[in-house]
Amino acid sequence: MTAKKVDINSLDYIFSQMVETMDSSKNDIYKISEQNRQSLLQMQKELEIVHSKLAEVLIDGDILEEETRLSRKRLGDVSKHFNTFSEEQIREAYEQANDLQIKLSINRTEERQLRERRADLERRLTELNESILHADQLATQANVVMNYLTSDLKEVGQALENAKLKQEYRLRIIEAQEEERKKLSREIHDGPAQMMANVLVRSDLIERTYREKGVDQALIEISSLKVMVRSALSEVRRIIYDLRPMALDDLGLVPTLKKYLMTIEDYNIGCKIHFHSIGDQRRIITNYEIAIFRLIQESVTNATKHGQSKNIEVKVEWCTQMVTITVKDDGTGFDPKFVRESSFGLLGMQERVDLLKGEMIVESSPGNGTTMMFRIPLKEEKE
């Protein structure tokens, strides 16, 4: 048997490349470790701020609770001796009790959010410390491997790279989850939570009105209350749709879009939404259906909320290997060059389109409405 000649120069090249790769990986680990330490310091400062804010909120809460108790006592006195107080004094007592109740509700919500934020920061600090410790261990292991330069060097370098990628993915997922939680908490706090607090106070007022002023006046108050409840219900439904449209899994993209757009039209009086689905519509991969729904949802929300549009046209064109989505409105419009850099909504849509390897086109100018176009290459759902 003839032995194959070994190319020493090739081996030297491969060897030097392995050493370079390992050294580069070690430097990356040091950078990640240093970045984590900087993040740790920032997070510790944020935790101190949260502790300070929570202490202030607790003090304010105690004061509000005492003031609320006194206002309710005052309200009770007014109720018992109704004839001895003027209408101005009665209204003032009711308004003061209502205002304090809302402030106390907001205070409690803020306290809960701060406690949740504190717990989350403490958890993330623990994870970050573990990550720093793990990075230091990896750096030590990298030094050992470089000293021995074994035949497994390439696999070790790949393992380190994979660990780095996994850590980056994990951090991005955590950041996305935190951002969604903050958005949802803010929406509930600013919308349904305050509305429900008002409903509670108004229901007490209706009961009092019925006893003292009769059915007709109470019915007027009930009509006003119904408007408030309907508004709260609208907000809750919108938040549910933002989380995930439940019909998407069962009905598919087009039926869900029709239902969603009808709901948006119902809750935006004076705005007409025209929907067209052109071509052979079909089920596609779930992630693609969700992404396309979100792109249309964000575009329509911008048109109704920021563009103040009266007419919106949503068109979905199905081709063999691509779907084209167009959302056109007659709203106020904007300058894409100025808004794109500062709009998290547009940036989020661009990132979503990039993940789908698609294309996003924005056509708009002040006073001339907006046209959003998305071209998404399709992957069909496997049976």
Residue 211, token pair as written in the block? 């006893």
What is the CATH architecture assignment of 8-238? Answer: Orthogonal Bundle (1.10)
> Could you tell me the pLDDT band of residue 317, with boundaries at 50, 70 and 90?
very high
Q: Provide the residue ranges of all domains of the chain, joining segments of one domain with +.
A: 8-238, 246-377
Q: Tokens for 209, please give them.
A: 């009105």
Q: Is pLDDT above 80 for 66?
A: yes
The predicted model gives 90-95 an average pLDDT of 80
CATH of domain 246-377: 3.30.565.10
CA 295 to chain centre: 14
Predicted TM-score of the model (pTM): 0.43
**What pLDDT, on the 0 to 100 scale, is given for residue 145?**
63
* Cα within 13 Å of Cα(255), Cβ side: 9
Task: Look at residue 374 in the predicted model and tell me its pLDDT.
Answer: 96
Backbone angles phi, psi at 273, to 5 degrees: -115, 125
Mean pLDDT estimate for the chain: 77
Proportion of the chain above pLDDT 90, given as a percent: 13
Q: Residue 150: its pLDDT value, please?
A: 45
Rounded CA-CA distance 379/252 in Å is: 15
Residue 198: which of 348, 107, 97 has the closest Cα? 97
SS3 81: coil
10 Å CB burial of residue 320 (0-12, 13-18, 19+) is: exposed
Minimum mean pLDDT among 57-66, 183-192, 277-286: which range? 183-192
pLDDT in tens, 182-212: 666 666 666 666 767 777 777 777 777 777 7
Complete DSSP assignment for 173-189: HHHHHHHHHHHHHHHHI
> In this predicted model, which residue has the larger pLDDT, 211 or 310?
310
The DSSP annotation for 197-249 comes to HHHHHHHHHHHHHHHHH-HHHHHHHHHHHHHHHHHHHHHHHHHHHHH--THHH
Residue 167 has pLDDT above 70, yes or no: no
Q: How far is CA 317 from CA 8, 129, 279, 327, in A?
A: 60, 50, 6, 12
Bridge partners of residue 359, in order along the sequence? 375
> Cα 44–53–130 angle (5° rounding)?
20
Q: What is the pLDDT at residue 151?
A: 47
Band the pLDDT of 339: cuts 50, 70, 90: low
pLDDT at 12 over 90: no
